[in-house]
Amino acid sequence: IHFGVVNLDKPAGPTSHQVSDFVQKILNIRKAGHSGSLDPQVTGILPIALEHATRLSHILLKGGKGYTGIMHIHKKVEKARIQEVLQKFIGKITQMPPVRSAVKRQWRERTVYSLIVHEIEENDILFSVDCEAGTYIRKLCHDVGKTLGTGAHMTELRRTRVTSFTEEGAVTLQDLQDALMLWKEEGNEKFIRHCIKPAERMAEHLPKIWVFDSTVESLCHGRDLAMPGISKLNPFQKDQTIAIMTLKNELIALGTSFISSDDILKNEKGIAVKTKKV
């Protein structure tokens, strides 16, 4: 509870901040924070970090996202033409954030990894999109309509993925409340452990370095990671965010790689990772 994360299925209605507040009240904790807000009417995956795990929320903000939604085009268009236009929005795209947004309004480049049409019924298109963080799906629908020459808008949206958090295993606010009661009243931990995952889940998508036990204490005091302390590692490039782990897969710190994993394997001395957050 004090260093965990809830893979929450957000309902339509409340803001992301209100949902975080509900989780805080249910668990009776001092702090809970979401990672990447959803509009009030949008449903789906909203990981909520608890207590000390809120220090890790920022690593999910920059992670990839997945959505399923319905786009309504304002005039009837041939299916082949719709497919042809949607293909143009896969890869690098530029977007101007909406007027009501939390970021500065300037052209930004984002990557759409996939854009799949599942069904077209009259003027409604059921689609799913996998994209870089910070991609505005409402704006994507608007821009598709503009390219089609018909106009279009988003009518429904559900987030299906935030990095490694998916709909599989997602829980509702009611699930969380019921699981807590079951634990408090009957001592049954099974369901509360299903609802609250270890904070290490938040770093699942990051490249990792595992260190020897003798290195852990110095890292806990904010020391940078030197090469002799490394036991094993994943491939990564220079200047990437790295999760530094114990051999028991406990998260110790986050840092920025000083050199690539290939260079680490070639050297025996020197700094491998600059520690940023313990």
Residues noted as catalytic = 39
Closest CA to 69 of 112, 130, 11: 130
First-to-last C-alpha distance (Å) of the chain: 19
Distance CA 236, CA 255 (A): 12
Distance CA 33, CA 53 (A): 9
Beta bridge partners of 32: 50
Distance CA 87, CA 127 (A): 12
